Chain A
Amino acid sequence: MTEHRPHEDTQKGISRRNFIKNTGLVAGGLVGGSLFGGLLTNQLQKPNAPINSEKEVSHLLEARTFFSNSEDFLILSAATERLFPTDDLGPGAIELGVPYFIDRQLAGEWGMNAKEYMKGPFLQTGVVDAYESQADSTQDQGPNAETQVPTPAFRYQTPMTRGDIFMEGVQALEQTAQEKFKTNFHKLEPKQQDEILQMFDDGKAKMNGVASTTFFNLLLQTTIEGAYADPVYGGNRNMEGWRMKEFPGPRMSYTADIEKEDFIVMKPESLRNYQGH
């Protein structure tokens, strides 16, 4: 796939201030680029200052280990924020650390398809594509409806790993943005980003190797996982995802409460608490 990414910034020799200025446009309906600024660097942290708070330690985890190109990461981030936006209920994907969650998932065994059957031959036919694009109405039912992420099932028949699909998908988001609006995806208005994401959801966007629905489904699945997985994986920052959902995190026992009629809200606890640190 040929790339059509504008290289104006990089050709100029990008300075950090310039970069933040350029990306500090209104993104995902948020003003001032504070979200994106935080993505790039924690500006509150003084260089060489001793690390003495949990908050500062957590910022040390905010670095990319899969996406080598920061622009790809900004595109990914903007897309996740549209899928799971900030609203009056609480933070959206970016503030929850979802982009970092996805970055780490892709850098690990899941992103490399380490435990999936990846032997050929691979059929790359319309039949396979159609399968990947099937409707998701049945995903919410069946023996594991309660234990599955409610994203459509597709039948994986590509030699591409999930990491490959994400790289390809993020670049296809950018290319679609250029073709439709002649602007970077992450600089588009939320409405325009939604329009493009809907094309991917519907399988109408051009992608190499897999149907765009396949990428979209993975993007949606990982966004929701990132919002609600234990914070140890880099998302659900400060357990804000759990707070919104009134989910308590791992507990040893509910024997005392299982028969109670009233809904019980508990202060969430993470795996770190649970494992007794």
Chain B
Amino acid sequence: MAKKLKKVDVVVVGSGWAGGVVSAELAKAGYQVVTLERGKKQDRQDYIGVKDELRYTDRYEMMQNLSPETITSRVKIEDTALPVRTRAEMMAGTDLGGGSVHWAGATYRWRAIDFELRSKTIERYGKEKIPEGMTIQDWGITYDEMEPYYDKWEKTAGISGEPDPLGDKRSSDYPNPPMLASPAVKLFKETTERMGYHPFQVAAGNLSQAYTNPDGEKLNACMFCSYCTMYGCDFTAKSDPLATVIPTARKTGNCEIRTNSLVRRVLHKDGKATGVMFTDTRTGIEYEQPADVVVLGAFSFTNNRLLMLSEIGTQYDPATRKGTIGRNFNGQFNITFLGARGFFENKKFNLYMGAGALGGTLSDFAGDNFDHSNVDFINGGGIEMRQYGDGAISTNHVPSGTPKWGPEFKKNSIHYANRSLVAWYTPAVMSWWHNYVDLDPTYKDEYGDPLLRITNRYTDHDRNMAKFGIEKCSEIMKEMGADIIDEDEVPEEFDHIYSGGHYAGGIIMGADPETSAVNNYLQMWEMDNLFVVGGSAFPQFGGHHPTSTIGALAYRAAEGVEKYLKEGGQLAEAKQETLNA
């Protein structure tokens, strides 16, 4: 029998950008909040003196321990899914601050067209431009409505950047100027400008200067130490929840953050959520946390699985294409981030320096910035060249044709250690009827609950986009003066490697309750006092990195929760959309 705790106004599951923003905003507004985080407590002190590539990059120190729980994965509906067993194949954040603590920091707003992708595509190119089986939809919110939330999140995070020359309207500039540009980044920007493109510095969650955000949190300037992606920042120079929304929530005195608290069920009665059941992972004791409003602000996998285990909403069934829970799984896997690697014989770059989001980018081939009449796909993505700061273990890039071990490998890997740069394309991954999430029939977690099962396969559309991007990146590399250019190959199929953290969908947003689980306040259509916030809400992916969109949606959701606490009821009006899937 679970131990019952004192009821609060709001219980939030997860402490990353989604859960963290919602917790801070509601605590600031004076509501009593309990935030539950499955992982451990951590802070900046935990990262001082541990710049250790083996431990963090190769042994995934900051990623979820998969021993108690993972996901299963398959390509086709008729396949048997297998567990993704190792952390080399499945990276999901955990611990206080979530995945955002070890993110790189690349920050992009998604484009106006992303939010109305289906209707705008039809408007410009006709219905036949959308391939059979593609289940993209409008978000039920426009870029103009999203803009204030983007702005708010950028200011909280202290994003350092310059506007995208081909970007949509902004109400204000980024709060901080762009980061310094290394010679490699300058080379990318100068070259692509010469080619007639519109490059700009990647907007970064690595700060270009000391900054105090609107909540009074202080951040420092990034020092390019390179221990960034997959690491926590030891200098409070990365925009993450540990540096911003978590201390903000704590300071109010209204928010209790409980770590080592694994939420296993959303409790509900008569169509209303009543709270959550969670287990203290250290003691094994079960607790019940009652609340007026339940917010799931966890990682997309967790948000999906919790609704399924709690039997809330209707599971999507690919046979009938009906049901909303688990629909439109999307994300960026081994068919995205493909491009070309250039090897330079007469140039050496200080590649051991860098920061997660140090880079140059252009969006000439993103969204609808280019004419799609003569290409065999819709939407697009950014082209980036990043300088993360290379570790010694991971930089063994050698020109293709080099053996992968032995004398020649050693010679080339050492010779090219500081001589190769890569440009890649980050195309938007569209949604399809056959890509979805449900519970696995066979494999269980340590409590005997079914694991989450992903069914995900590639389409010609994905492959066409990837090919297009590789060609563009290869041209850029050539112009940059690379002596050897290795183009990435387009993979035939999904390889079940979940790295990079960009996995989304399942509990998607929209205007029509038939095809979406949440409305444009991230409120469940079927349960007024349950909000589901995060990447799980993306009906399809955008052509750039997702973090700022998750941050913006969290501000939108926080507003919704407050509105609900004051007024009750459904906050958005349901509309019927005809999907001729």
Contact = CB atoms under 8 A, between A and B. Distances in A.
B547 to A, nearest CB: 13
B489 A228 contact: no
Contacts of A244: 414
18 contacts: A110-B59, A117-B83, A134-B495, A138-B491, A142-B337, A142-B500, A147-B57, A153-B497, A155-B89, A224-B393, A245-B395, A250-B225, A254-B223, A255-B180, A255-B224, A258-B224, A259-B180, A271-B50
Nearest to A232: B52
A86 to B, nearest CB: 9
B289 interface: no
User: Interface centre among B89, B229, B352, by most A CB within 10 Å?
Assistant: B352
Interface stretch (A42-50, A77-85, A167-175): A77-85
Interface in B13-64: 49-54, 57-60
A258 B182 contact: yes
Given A119-B443, A146-B390, A250-B52, A114 B67 contact: yes
A247 B405 contact: no
A118 B66 CA distance: 9
**Shortest 5 CB-CB distances between A and B: which pairs?**
A143-B500, A250-B51, A253-B223, A263-B348, A228-B392
Interface in A100-149: 110, 113-119, 121, 123, 128, 134, 136-138, 140-149
Give the dominant DSSP class at B's interface. Answer: loop
A265 to B, nearest CB: 10
A157 B82 contact: yes
B488 A258 contact: no
Interface in A180-212: 194, 197, 201
A66 interface: no
A252 B388 contact: no
**Interface size for chain A: under 10, 10 to 19, 20 to 34, or 35 or more residues?**
35 or more
B444 interface: yes
B180 A258 contact: yes
Contacts of B88: 153, 156
Interface residues of B, number: 86
A275 interface: yes
B69 A117 contact: yes
Interface of A: 82-85, 87, 89, 92, 110, 113-119, 121, 123, 128, 134, 136-138, 140-151, 153, 155-157, 194, 197, 201, 220, 223-225, 228-230, 232-233, 236, 241-242, 244-248, 250-255, 257-261, 263-264, 271, 274-276
A276 B410 CA distance: 32
Contact of B353 (A148, A153, A258): A258
Interface in B205-235: 221, 223-227, 229-230
Contacts of A230: 52-54
Contacts of B227: 250
B410 A84 contact: yes
Contact of A229 (B54, B60, B339, B410): B54
B254 interface: no
